[in-house]
Chains A and B, each alone.
Chain A
Amino acid sequence: MRHYPTPRLWCVRIVLSLTLGLLLSGISQAEERFIILQSTTSTQNSGLFDAILPRFQTQTGIEVRVVAVGTGQALKNARNGDGDLLLVHAKPEEEAFVAEGWGVKRYDVMSNDFVIVGSADDPAGIAGMQEAGAVLRKIAQIQGAFISRGDESGTHKKERALWKIAAVDPLKASGTWYREAGAGMGATLNTAVGMRAYTLTDRGTWLSFRNKADYTILVEGDPKLFNQYGVILVNPAKHPHVKADLGQQFIDWLVGPEGQSLIAGYTIAGQPLFFPNAPGG
């Protein structure tokens, strides 16, 4: 029979108790004063939440946990009850969400605009054009590379609406000059820069994006490029576990003077990323 010297058991015991400690430390962490906000990659990638949420937490003791996904996935998650609040940018879908009873009420929070970015050499010659529809038509004509989000996000929905205005069906060219990334805003910008393609982005993400290379804003200012964000409390009548009190407290703060002025004050290189436009703010 072999004998097992104690030092070995010792080591085993240390490792075991360490892992057990790690395990248990997770279970004891029960923090109740938090709400889950289903939101979009564009708001997270722009750094807005990091700028305003700590203030709300200091004032109220409520932690806002942000899950940043595309607007389509955020709406789906909220329908499943996996969040207390929704902050997205696809007004028709948001209104349908409320109309179907999934949300209590929709509040306008802020806006910014979409821009079309591209490389400095601009093969389609769209720089300075005014009409987004005409721009897309021109890109389609020369079959210039264009990266789409392709993920049912708010930006993707906006882009499809613009193609409709341009009277072009880009899906016929999918995989050739029209490429669907199926990714978040930042990842799509990385892809566009890598492929020297045009893409549509919200101004917030663009301003905070760090991998611009020689990319610049080529088209901006068309009223059709307007981008409105709204906030909705998930309906506790559908999902009783929704923390309606805490959630409503956050909405009131966000659309109130305090939240609105913080949104206005968030700038990158002196440029505001979002313009608060809550009716009461």
Chain B
Amino acid sequence: MQDFGQAFTLAFQLIVSADPTLSEIILLSLRVSLSAVTIASVIGLSIGATVGILRFPGRGALIVFLNALMGLPPVVVGLLVYMTLSHAGPLGWLHLLYSPTAMIVAQTILVTPIIASLSRQVIEDLYREYREQFLSLGVPPKTAVAALLWDARYSLLTVALAGFGRAVAEVGAVIIVGGNIKHVTRVMTTAIALETSKGDLALALALGLILILIALSVNTTVSLLRLSASNSAYA
């Protein structure tokens, strides 16, 4: 295959020309995956903090279960969400199938266990360190949780980035519930799958390179935020 060089040139041309269709696809990818990660973070961090701090029967089993859910196959999640949102399904009356909202729902389901599991570990470790102090100072539970989340924020940010990586890279779920409809639900990964099936491998790879660039820029933005935050903290 001699398409590699061609793909790099194509990717460069696509970025320089600011192709409107491509911008639309990139923006939708970001919108869907960032929304999913935001919602998943709210749910996942709540679960992670609860399971990380509290001791209750069945906790060990729950942790194993959450860890296993990190390996949810996207295509299965897509199928379940499709069957739920289909007009023949229980939530069909919402008319959400083949919309970006359906894609956000599917990715949220994929990402929540990742954020819940990883944050549970982070918070549990930190809590072990802080526990004595909290007890001796008589810190109320709410303040304790807030302090744990705040002090673990950099690790938790990395957790959120892991979730974002999963969301933005998956194709199995969004292609089923979104339908890869042009101008409506076409995102980077489904566009790559489509160009591959058209046999336009150079264009598909070019889109892939741009997707990697997007992931890189999201991660860079987060690192810069982190850097500026820690600089100002110790200034």
A65 touches B181 (CB 8 A): yes
Among the interface residues B87, B198, B201, which one has the most CB atoms of the partner chain A within 10 A? B198
Stretch in contact with the other chain, from A126-134, A204-212, A248-256: A204-212
Which residues of chain A in 175-192 are interfacial with respect to chain B, using CB atoms and an 8 Å cutoff? 183-187, 189-190
| Min distance, Cβ A260 to any Cβ of chain B, angstroms | 23
Interface size class of B (residues with CB under 8 A): 35 or more
| Min distance, Cβ B11 to any Cβ of chain A, angstroms | 17
Task: Report the bound CA distance from A91 to B100 in whole Å.
Answer: 33
B181 touches A67 (CB 8 A): yes
Interface size class of A (residues with CB under 8 A): 35 or more
| Min distance, Cβ B8 to any Cβ of chain A, angstroms | 18
Task: Report the bound CA distance from A5 to B183 in whole Å.
Answer: 43
Task: Report the bound CA distance from A47 to B198 in whole Å.
Answer: 9
A66 touches B181 (CB 8 A): yes
Task: Report the bound CA distance from A79 to B32 in whole Å.
Answer: 28
A138 within 8 A of B: no
B198 touches A45 (CB 8 A): yes
Stretch in contact with the other chain, from B110-118, B127-135, B165-173, B227-235: B227-235
Contact A82-B87, Cβ < 8 Å, known A26-B100, A66-B182: yes
| Min distance, Cβ A208 to any Cβ of chain B, angstroms | 7
Residues of the A chain whose Cβ atoms lie less than 8 Å from the Cβ of B198: 45, 47, 186, 208-210
B87 touches A19 (CB 8 A): no
| Contacting residue for A239 out of B87, B181, B197, B199, CB 8 A | B87
A211 touches B97 (CB 8 A): no
Task: Report the bound CA distance from A208 to B197 in whole Å.
Answer: 11
B101 within 8 A of A: yes
Task: Report the bound CA distance from A36 to B34 in whole Å.
Answer: 27
A272 within 8 A of B: no
Among residues of B, the one whose C-beta sits closest to the C-beta of A211 is: B199
Contact A67-B98, Cβ < 8 Å, known A81-B92, A82-B87: yes
Contact A15-B30, Cβ < 8 Å, known A26-B100, A66-B182: no
What 5 pairs across the A-B complex have the smallest Cβ distances?
A: A186-B197, A81-B87, A211-B199, A67-B179, A80-B88
